[in-house]
Amino acid sequence: MAPGKALEQLALQKRFLCAESATLRLVVASELQQALAPLRWMDRLPTGLRPLLWLGLPVAGFWFARRTKGPTRWVSAGLGAVRLLLTIRRFLGRSHARSDRSGSAVG
């Protein structure tokens, strides 16, 4: 195979992979919107109540998962723990972002 032909083929493969990556990003964004759609009602709640729900609902799910019997118990408990950790991470990230926006800039 000639060096020019190999470079052409690599460039074509790169374009294909970039296009596939862009398509998959759109698919993930769409699926994320569909997954978050059931939580839209929380946007209408008073601001002070939202953090309590974001922390309280995963804890309630974890508690409920621990009360369940059978083989699904471990899966439910694991998912409850993951949800709890992700919620805390999101909550801390938003709090940090708010403090960055409202904090004074040094420089």
d(C-alpha 62, C-alpha 56), whole Å: 10
**What tens digit of pLDDT does each residue of 9-39 get?**
999 999 999 999 999 999 999 998 888 887 7
**What tens digit of pLDDT does each residue of 68-87 get?**
666 666 676 777 778 888 88
pLDDT at 90: 79
Q: Which of 19-23, 40-44, 65-69, 102-106 shows the lowest mean pLDDT across its residues?
A: 102-106
Tell which residue, 38, 27, 86, 41, has the closest CA to residue 59: 86
Q: Which of 7-21, 48-62, 74-88, 92-106 shows the lowest mean pLDDT across its residues?
A: 92-106
Q: Exposed/middle/buried for 58, CB within 10 Å: 0-12, 13-18, 19+?
A: buried
Task: Tell me how crowded residue 69 is: count the other CB atoms within 10 A of its CB.
Answer: 6
Q: Exposed/middle/buried for 28, CB within 10 Å: 0-12, 13-18, 19+?
A: exposed
Report residue 105's pLDDT band, with 50, 70 and 90 as the boundaries. Answer: very low
